[in-house]
Structure 1
Amino acid sequence: MKIAVLDDYMKIAGELADWKSLPAHVHTHFFTEKLPDGANTRADALADFDALVVTRERTPLPKELLEQLPKLKFIASPEMHNRVIDFAYCRERGITVCGTLPRPSPTFELTWALILALAKNVTIDDRAMRDGLWQTVVGTEIRGKTLGVIGLGRIGSEVAKVGNAFGMEVIAWSENMTKERAVECSATLVSKDDLFRQADYVVVMVIQSDRTVGLVGEHEFSLMKPDAYLINPARGPIVNELALVNALKNKKIAGAGLDVYDEEPLPVDHPFRGLPNTVLMPHVAGFTREHYAHWYNGMLEDVRAWLEGNIINEIHGSGIVAARV
């Protein structure tokens, strides 16, 4: 019996969960690099495994890949949803997919790290200090500024709460947001255009779907103040990357704090890497040591139960949403 743990970039899956506690006939292999692109190439790497343990949505599992994995019987995935697994095909093939129970997300913490890094020029001053310089730029205060939150779900509401604690004016919008929900989060519901016009910091906090891909683009950047910032810890495709690059290059906005991108890992020659008015993180907002431990231990228990003939935390998905292989 062979199990593959995919996309363990930080090489911590084996440390945070005791995979050796599985029966002796079970062999676990950790993939610490991104699998090569292409369904056929990935199939060659995974064809010999009976079970896959995936790390969020880093490796899509569409039908064209899964049908080339004849031994595959089980998939474990963090949380109880995954946009890039073809659940319809899994049901057809009898492949069981199980998840992990939810815990509070740490994403809002990194969101505020990005906001503060931009306001206080943390990365600029850090580089200057290492170059032997002293006091080269001046930061700004966030108290009294306007925070615009797109989406007041579980994480967006936490972002709004901290904004209020900092003494900011919090405004919010999403397609289905009600005035009552905004009030619950101590925010003011405004129109989408007004949010982009008024906010000093725009935070994207909606999930990726057909409705939200490209939600922020050239029109929205044209409305923003030249000293305003965009922060995106949600999903890359929600923001039009070309429009954002142009807005940053032409100083239509002051800067951006990003944790997510259209293509991940971010290509080494991507324009974002050369723009001085960005703070870039490698999609780690939800990936803390504590969160990883919760996920990997939860998926280990999924695997253990499956090996014993039990199914726990089964995910009944509705089908693949997006995948690039």
Structure 2
Amino acid sequence: MKKVLVTRAVPEMALGVLKNVVKSVANIEIDHNYIPDSREEFLKEVRDTHGLLVNPLNVIDSAIINAAEKLEVVSIIGVGFENIDVKAASKKKIPVAFTPILQKAVAELTFALILTLSRGITSADIYVRSGEWKEPIPIIELGTDLSGKTLGIVGLGRIGSEVAKRAKCFEMNIIYYDIERDYKKEEELGARYVSLDELLSSSDFVSLHAPLTPQTRHMIGKKELEKMKPTAYIINTSRGQILDQRALYQALVNKKIKGAGLDVFEEEPVSIDEPLLKLKNVVFTPHLGSATTENRMNMFLTAAQNLGQALGGQEPKYQINPKAV
């Protein structure tokens, strides 16, 4: 029987699903434990572990990977893998797998934030609840159409492409910036490739969908925000560290841009003392990008399948480091 450590307490039904999926994929039985609370316990527990089922918040560094003498796979329930020392895993020929299937859920939340900002839904809700609505025609700030507006997408990967598909339905003009130009997607999505500077200065809505790397950390800061229109909005459903929150706060209070929608933050959970929380022209959600019932179950099943394939000696379907094995 092979041992698997799971990153957090999950319902017994989910653990039953995990066991059944691994058995159906690899025809092997697994035992499971939750990862201990302390790092010292974890380093001890991981020594005879064959598989790790983790989420993007769990740090699996070289010390843990090197301590895991029997480790055969690290399977992430999520799309981000900056928390995993992939180089250390590759050096030991351990596959690292992830679940790049959350793009539609994140794209839908992205558009929920765009619509909330463009039509002032949060303030309108407060207005109705407060009892201030006294006249047939409400005295409230008007929203803005999406049709004919320009959406600038930073990162036209899986999620950025799904956002572009939805923008087409709203008759928006789509421009994008990425480190690599994709002519096929441009044709499919009706998107136009531009420099980051042009994207920032031309867009009515800027939506961030880049992965977090040393190069993308704070890629949108004071200088970049000052290039945006004073009527523009910025939306971040990727990683909080891509957008400099201090610079964003200054841009908002100084009316350099009109508003922002944030699902991610530089530090999570966000502190109650975060200055952005006091602003009315920002809409917040608590990292809900993948948080739908259907998507979370699919992510769990995919992570379990990746785990089972690796434990059975196969290559996981969604492997980050295929050349390592």
Shorter chain as normaliser: what TM range? 0.7 to 0.9
Cα offsets for 1:164-190 (capped at 9, x unmatched)? 321222222234326675344212333
Deviation at 1:226, TM superposition (A): 1.4
CA distance in 1, matches of 2:257, 2:12: 39
Equivalent in the alignment of 1:254? 258
CA distance in 2, matches of 1:13, 1:280: 32
CA distance in 1, matches of 2:62, 2:195: 40
State the AA in 1 paired with 2:146.
I
Deviation at 1:67, TM superposition (A): 4.4
Structure richer in helix, relative to its length: 2
Contact 1:16 / 1:296 at 8 angstroms: preserved in 2?
A: no
Equivalent in the alignment of 2:6? 5
Equivalent in the alignment of 1:227? 231
Confirm or deny that 1:29 pairs with 2:30: no
Contact 1:17 / 1:293 at 8 angstroms: preserved in 2?
A: no
Cα offsets for 1:170-222 (capped at 9, x unmatched)? 22223432667534421233332222222111111222223322221111211
1:276 to 276, 280, 302: 280
Contact 2:309 / 2:316 at 8 angstroms: preserved in 1?
A: no
Equivalent in the alignment of 2:115? 116
- After superposition, the Cα gap between the structure-2 partners of 1:130 and 1:106, relative to the gap in structure 1 and judged at 3 Å, is same
Contact 1:259 / 1:281 at 8 angstroms: preserved in 2?
A: yes
Contact 1:80 / 1:98 at 8 angstroms: preserved in 2?
A: no
Map 1:57-136 → 2, pairs under 5 A: 57-67=56-66, 74-78=73-77, 82-92=81-91, 95=94, 97-100=96-99, 102=101, 105-134=104-133, 135=138, 136=140
CA distance in 2, matches of 1:292, 1:17: 16
- After superposition, the Cα gap between the structure-2 partners of 1:257 and 1:7, relative to the gap in structure 1 and judged at 3 Å, is farther
State the AA in 2 paired with 1:5.
V
Deviation at 1:161, TM superposition (A): 2.6
Q: Which runs of 5+ in 2 are unaligned?
A: none
Equivalent in the alignment of 2:41? 44
Deviation at 1:138, TM superposition (A): 2.6
CA distance in 2, matches of 1:17, 1:130: 44
Map 1:281-320 → 2, pairs under 5 A: 281-304=285-308, 309-313=312-316, 315=319, 317=321
- After superposition, the Cα gap between the structure-2 partners of 1:193 and 1:12, relative to the gap in structure 1 and judged at 3 Å, is farther
Contact 1:75 / 1:96 at 8 angstroms: preserved in 2?
A: yes
Confirm or deny that 1:53 pairs with 2:49: no
State the AA in 1 paired with 2:86.
F
**Secondary structure in 2 matching 1:53:** strand
Contact 2:53 / 2:76 at 8 angstroms: preserved in 1?
A: yes
Equivalent in the alignment of 1:322? none
**Secondary structure in 1 matching 2:261:** strand
Map 1:116-195 → 2, pairs under 5 A: 116-134=115-133, 135=138, 136-177=140-181, 181-195=185-199
**Secondary structure in 2 matching 1:219:** helix
State the AA in 2 paired with 1:54.
V
Contact 1:179 / 1:188 at 8 angstroms: preserved in 2?
A: no
**TM-score, normalised on structure 2?**
0.79
Deviation at 1:274, TM superposition (A): 2.3
State the AA in 2 paired with 1:229.
Y
- After superposition, the Cα gap between the structure-2 partners of 1:215 and 1:91, relative to the gap in structure 1 and judged at 3 Å, is closer
Deviation at 1:100, TM superposition (A): 4.9
- After superposition, the Cα gap between the structure-2 partners of 1:301 and 1:154, relative to the gap in structure 1 and judged at 3 Å, is closer
Deviation at 1:270, TM superposition (A): 2.1
Contact 1:245 / 1:272 at 8 angstroms: preserved in 2?
A: yes
Cα offsets for 1:127-174 (capped at 9, x unmatched)? 333333334433222122222222323322222232232122222223
Contact 1:13 / 1:296 at 8 angstroms: preserved in 2?
A: no
- After superposition, the Cα gap between the structure-2 partners of 1:13 and 1:101, relative to the gap in structure 1 and judged at 3 Å, is farther
**Secondary structure in 1 matching 2:45:** coil
Cα offsets for 1:32-53 (capped at 9, x unmatched)? xxx6xxxxx4343564252421
CA distance in 2, matches of 1:153, 1:24: 37
Equivalent in the alignment of 1:18? 17
State the AA in 1 paired with 2:105.
P
**Secondary structure in 2 matching 1:279:** strand
Contact 1:233 / 1:260 at 8 angstroms: preserved in 2?
A: yes
CA distance in 1, matches of 2:198, 2:12: 44
- Which sits farther off after the overlay, 66-75 or 210-219? 66-75
State the AA in 1 paired with 2:175.
I
CA distance in 1, matches of 2:12, 2:116: 30
**Secondary structure in 2 matching 1:244:** helix
